[in-house]
Amino acid sequence: MKLTESTRNEIGMPLVGFGTFQLSDDQAEYSVTEALKAGFRHIDSSEAYNNEEGTGRGIKAAGVSRDELFVTTKLFPAPVKNYSQTDKNYSQTIETLKNQLKQLQLDYVDLYLIHAPLSELRMEQWNAFVELKKLGLAKHIGVSNYNIATIKEILDAGLAKPEANQIEFHPISAQVELTRYMKENAIAPIAYSSLAPLSTWRVEEGQGGEVLAEIKKEGQQIIKEVATKLEVSEARGLLRWGLQHGYAVLTKSSKPERIRENLNLFDFEISDNDMERLNQLDQNQALAWAASGLDPMAAPPLK
């Protein structure tokens, strides 16, 4: 798949974005500023990250024109420990984005996502998303951690189609059927936790990177071999793998040199043979939420 640095996906999203998960407000402010100065133009945030004030300060400090930016944020839909205290209804969904915009110091976001289908009120929330787009508070609306069944709920109800679905996507969790379904329905795929197969992923205490570490070991050697052949870091190799599957990818770091390095994904290409070697690592095993014991795609019955 030939890519250029100016490539954006079908909703105008830059294919390489900067994520803010597990950053404090101060870390988010610093890292977002550095990312935008380095050339990133897509920032990915969430209500659940509890750092949108810092993210907003970082966006403002960078001084990049608003029309150059693509800002994504998410609604956390239901009560889950450490994430949300309420199962949000229609009006609460509307108010949540309005509050997030105040924290981000923005008039609108480019993409608003339901973080996961964890609420019995997810169809009510989706109706609110449709209204938020009509109000101009979100240019595009979508979902995250939705599987085929929960996407079909929306389509079968005759409602506006999600324009994007952000899911865990890397060689160990390749989401083959879901990826095919999104492509068939023109739903833009966005990858998170692209670096989960690495031993260096989420290594700080409390981040949960050690969970399921044993299933990653075999793949780590192949990932290293592919990266060595390309003379790139293993992180850049995994991000490039996602790009070549047609996904937008997210990266995160608080180190300026790493921030700049991970934006540079367009001057090399993984061969078909090595793409297949990485594809063969698929175990259909999600890693990102494993430490919490929560399956973000496990949807309760609708009310």
Model pLDDT for residues 202-241, shown as the tens digit of each residue:
656 555 556 667 788 888 999 999 999 999 999 999 999 9
User: Which residues fall within 8 angstroms of residue 245, CB to CB, at 6 or more apart?
Assistant: 1, 169, 179, 189
pLDDT by residue (tens digit) across 183-193? Answer: 999 999 999 99
Q: Kindly state the helix (H) or strand (E) to which residue 261 belongs, with its residue range.
A: helix 256-263
Q: How confident is the model at residue 153 (pLDDT cuts 50, 70, 90)?
A: very high
Is-contact 172 215, C-beta < 8 A?
yes
**Amino acid letter for position 244:** Q
Using a pLDDT cut of 70, give the percent of the chain over it.
93
Overall average pLDDT of the 261-282 stretch: 95
How many angstroms separate the CA atoms of 109 and 135, rounded? 12
Using a pLDDT cut of 90, give the percent of the chain over it.
79
pLDDT reading at 54 higher than 90: yes
Q: How confident is the model at residue 1 (pLDDT cuts 50, 70, 90)?
A: very low
DSSP for 90-105, please give it.
HHHHHHHHHHHHHHHT
Q: How confident is the model at residue 284 (pLDDT cuts 50, 70, 90)?
A: very high
User: Strand (E) positions, the chain?
Assistant: 16-19, 42-44, 70-75, 109-114, 138-144, 164-168, 188-192, 248-251
| Packing angle, helices 176-184 and 148-156, rounded to 10 | 20
> Residue 270's pLDDT is what?
98
Contacts for 68-71: CB closer than 8 Å, 24+ residues apart: 68/41, 69/36, 69/41, 69/42, 69/43, 69/110, 70/8, 70/12, 70/13, 70/14, 70/17, 70/41, 70/42, 70/43, 70/110, 70/111, 71/42, 71/43, 71/45, 71/104, 71/106, 71/109, 71/110, 71/111
How many angstroms separate the CA atoms of 42 and 76, rounded? 20
> Residue 3's pLDDT is what?
45
Is-contact 105 56, C-beta < 8 A?
yes
C-alpha neighbours within 13 Å on the C-beta side of residue 151: 27
Greater confidence, 292 or 41? 41
Alpha-carbon dihedral sign for residues 26, 29, 292, 120: positive
How many angstroms separate the CA atoms of 178 and 191, rounded? 12
For residue 205 the two structure tokens come to: 């205490």
How many angstroms separate the CA atoms of 207 and 12, rounded? 32
pTM of the model: 0.94
Alpha-carbon dihedral sign for residues 101, 68, 140, 190: negative
Catalytic residues, which ones? 49
pLDDT by residue (tens digit) across 81-107? Answer: 667 777 999 999 999 999 999 999 999
pLDDT reading at 4 higher than 50: no
Q: Which residues of 1-17 are buried (b: 16+ CB within 10 A; e: fewer)?
A: eeeeeeeebebebbbbb
- The residue among 120, 174, 115, 175 whose CA lies nearest residue 143 is 115
Greater confidence, 71 or 4? 71
